[in-house]
Structure 1
Amino acid sequence: MNKFSQYLLRLFLKNFIIVSLFVIMLQWLSSAYGNLNILENAKYTAVDFIVVAAYGIVLGINQLIPMVVAVSIIMTMIILMRSNELLAYMVIGGSLGRLAFPLIFVGVIISSLMIFMEYKIIPEVRVARENMLNVMRGQPVSNNAGGFFNTWFLDKNQVITHITLVSISEKTIYGIDEYIPDSSGKIASIKKIEKLVKEDDNWVAYNTQNMNILTNPPKIEVIERNVLSDKSWDRLISIKTTDMRVYTPTELYTLIQLFTEKGLNTDSLKLNLYYKFAYSISVIILIVLLYPISINFSRNYSIVKNASVTFSISIVYLGVQYIFRSLGSSGILPPAATFLPIIVFLFIGLFLIYYRSLAK
């Protein structure tokens, strides 16, 4: 890495830190204002209030990082263009293509950190924030292994399954009802299980009732204890909530496996999983795309015009990515289509870098 590349990298990181601090300050104020309603009539100190607002920053910062990177790139290139340092670098034989590598490398690091936050930091901060809010409001603190309730499944054999409660901390599933149809689609039998308990490496069903409702009177078979060979329940107790918006990538992948085994549609789960990665990768795409667009050696160069055009393009890219996500959620496009804007804009950015490198 030559000296000018090092200078460019330091300048970008400096601008990235400045913009990040500004965004964090605004986000903290927004989070603090939102907490005023949440903590109404609650008992807390000023330190508690600051910490809870800081937790809110961590939960929302990933959504803002791509725009922070976009603004940082624009600021960096404006400084280099205005001081004619980039022009001088080109005059002495510098390459715009080679100059892009340090920025792309930083983009890879930032994207990796965003993915790490989705896997590790954000889930832990979400639990810590909820526990702290509960303490302030005088409510009991939940553990990190909650569960969910009143869940329905429809598998590939058209068997309807209702689960009353999944307790992750107890490794127990309560109130399982299976409604099994015959070949005509009419419910022919019902299986009721009082609870499923994970004992050692096996699932044990207690008080199972198999009811044939086509006979009169219904025929009922009761099994007090039955060891099951079905391992799909292992995945179910690893999911802490039914709110898809807060699923971690690990939980999404686990549910995809479970739904696949049950013959259920996994498109919405795959879409959310793919979008988490696609949005993180957007940092790299924005760097590759905005870096060559923000370079302009024209005599009619205008800082305001150049910055406006470059920033608008970043908005267009993120907008297109969101549109493809919406098309995927509506079933018009497959879940993997969320990566299509990444591929298209990546090639556009690489072409522009190549084109700018050839320009004399």
Structure 2
Amino acid sequence: MERFKVLLPQPVAEEGIRCLQAAGCEAVHADGTDEHTLIKAVQDCDAILVRTARITRQIIESADKLKVIARHGVGLDNVNIAAASERGIYVCNAPTANIHSVAEHVLGLMIAVSHFIPAADKALRRGDFATRNYFIGNELLGKTVGLIGCGNIGKLVAQKCALGLGMKVIAFDPNINRPEQDFIEMVSTVEEVLRRADYVSLHLPYSPELHHFIHTYKLKLMKSSAYLINAARGGLVDEQALYDALVSKSLAGAALDCFEKEPPLPNHPLWELENVVVTPHMAAHTKEAMIRMAMIPAEEIIRVKNGKQPNVWINRDLFKEGEIHH
């Protein structure tokens, strides 16, 4: 019997690979993530377990045996869902695999930028102990964090901010009328979040419609003492507009884990600012989350191999009757 082949464009935790192999799958490793390489690698594969590699229409249409694309994590902006749906290919993800890691990272960014931790660290390593008199931080206690998007990660950020740091929480999410937790105040517009919050944290997926969701006008709505936090997707923020706001002191600071272009250019203008904290799209990169992000999609692939539907089936509504691959 022909083995069920799973393409891995990028490395994943060994636990996920062992899970696939134990179920009779063969892990196929690609030599690169460019479109040409993946078109060649995917041709006789039944599944793709994808991290950040772009799974384009051309890749999908060259894979006659493909039955399922399982995302290592939450975001699916790197997968052409329409093309997969047209060919009856399941698309699934792991929506809860990294939520604790990302929520913790968001709080870490908030604390780091508020207390000038990275800038002070660099200064002290240069022998400048007197910098302690220059970098005067801000407490988070009693401040308002405004969440734009209040899904799995947003709710955890709200919980940790309210119960752990004594912050007030407001949130805007068009899909939520009433908050699940009584310490979240839902507001009716994005603009209200921007005007009221001391910290604005983005928890949105990326789509072309949301490109530069945070731009010059919205930044001007924020308090001059406020901070912008983005551990969601880079394209949500107009980085030039953010730089201008920070330089003109119409915004106190920003902390970013993701960028419009990744990897960003080494001479990115934001790098020169002491009131900016940056990390290389690593919020989800804890040992625990990396294992879950490999295991959950592996288990979804195995379900499809065994003739079952995924537990989390993203493109269910886009399927036409009779088009599902079995």
Question: What is the TM-score with the length of structure 1 in the denominator?
Answer: 0.26
- Larger RCO (alpha carbons 8 Å, 6+ apart): 2
Q: Which has the larger radius of gyration?
A: 1
Higher helix share: 1
